[in-house]
Structure 1
Amino acid sequence: MKLLMVLMLAALSQHCYAGSGCPLLENVISKTINPQVSKTEYKELLQEFIDDNATTNAIDELKECFLNQTDETLSNVEVFMQLIYDSSLCDLF
């Protein structure tokens, strides 16, 4: 799960500058964490980044990992992402 998240975040950060200055990245992360968003809706959000079946499968697997988490874990991921956005290392962006 960690590797998939790192790969998705790395790919999306190439599209725009990361660190709370990129609404696209923030939207994708919030949709990833949100258990109310289905895998179908999630794939529609990322459709422009999907080139092949391997990417589709990776996106499905990533979303499934988050759908299988408790509300407490998802809340902790939100807190973690906010800490990253607010960190001094992201001030450069």
Structure 2
Amino acid sequence: MTRRYIVSGRVQGVGFRWFVEHEASALGVAGWVRNTDAGTVEVLATGNEDQLSRLRKALERGPRAARVDEVVEIAEPEEVNETSFSIKGAW
């Protein structure tokens, strides 16, 4: 299964991407995370139902410095061509 998540709130400049990479890698989820120009964080993740459910819970929690207001989940029609999880975009 592949899901796209859009996370809004105070999610940039608080270590959110690194948090997501750590959580996704620990769960065995493949894909990527990146900041968007809109001030949100976008996550594309492939895994089984349990892995993605646990990742979503982590996204809703976020790292200590973050404030997550909303997590929008979008089902993707195809799996990602990734074998691991990475951070995309500017550091």
TM over 0.5: no
Which has the larger Rg? 1
**TM-score interval (norm. to shorter):** 0.3 to 0.5
Kindly indicate whether structure 1 or structure 2 has the higher relative contact order, using CA contacts under 8 Å at least 6 residues apart: 2
Query: Quick check: which one's helix share is greater?
Result: 1
Query: Quick check: which one's strand share is greater?
Result: 2
TM-score between both structures, scaled by the size of structure 1: 0.37
TM-score between both structures, scaled by the size of structure 2: 0.37
